[in-house]
Amino acid sequence: MGKISRTRVTLSIWGADIRPEDVTRVLGCQPTRTAQTGQSILLSNGSTRVVPRGYWKLESDETDQREIDQKIERLLGRLNSDEQVWISLAQDHDIELFCGLFLDNWNEGFALPRELMAELGRRCIRVEVDIYSPVNSWPDSRTATGDEQI
């Protein structure tokens, strides 16, 4: 298994009644982006949309070449580690760690250390993974044999 070519990590806290300034205060870190439910935001294409559910987001440095587990650890290290703070946040909000994996080859992968998995669980963080692979990176199924067939 080869190393993931590029990754993106974003911690999101969602809630209909979220108050981003309160999340910032309890987590001790300025977010990358926030919005409150019903707020109109300007999109990159110049149009606007109304936010259906408020959020507080903290993104990893997109140009950072670290392994994904290191990015996650670095992101978590910027935040309050008090388990009770996270439990309290999780009572009224959904907490999600989005991991975007951008592959250059058909077989790349990663592993998360058990200590990191335990820390995510302790903080009530659900992990969501999206995998983006270039279509032309798959081996030709007509020439594959045995277990390699697609």
- Examine residue 24 and state whether it is found in any structural domain, yes or no: yes
Q: What is the mean pLDDT of residues 18-42?
A: 96
- Examine residue 23 and state whether it is found in any structural domain, yes or no: yes
More confident residue, 95 or 104: 95
- Examine residue 139 and state whether it is found in any structural domain, yes or no: no
Q: What is the pTM of this model?
A: 0.84
Confidence band for 41, pLDDT divided at 50, 70 and 90: very high
- Examine residue 80 and state whether it is found in any structural domain, yes or no: yes
Structural domains counted in the chain: 1
Q: What is the mean pLDDT of residues 76-87?
A: 97
- Examine residue 141 and state whether it is found in any structural domain, yes or no: no
- Examine residue 116 and state whether it is found in any structural domain, yes or no: yes
The tens digit of pLDDT for each residue in 107-133 reads 888 899 999 999 999 999 999 999 988
Residue whose entry in the numeric block shows the structure tokens 């949309």: 49
Q: What is the mean pLDDT of residues 17-27?
A: 97
Phi-psi region of 124 (alpha: psi -120 to 50; beta: other; left: phi over 0): left
104 touches 5 (CB < 8 A): yes
- Examine residue 148 and state whether it is found in any structural domain, yes or no: no
Confidence band for 150, pLDDT divided at 50, 70 and 90: very low
- Examine residue 95 and state whether it is found in any structural domain, yes or no: yes
Q: 105: domain range?
A: 2-134
The tens digit of pLDDT for each residue in 135-144 reads 665 566 544 4
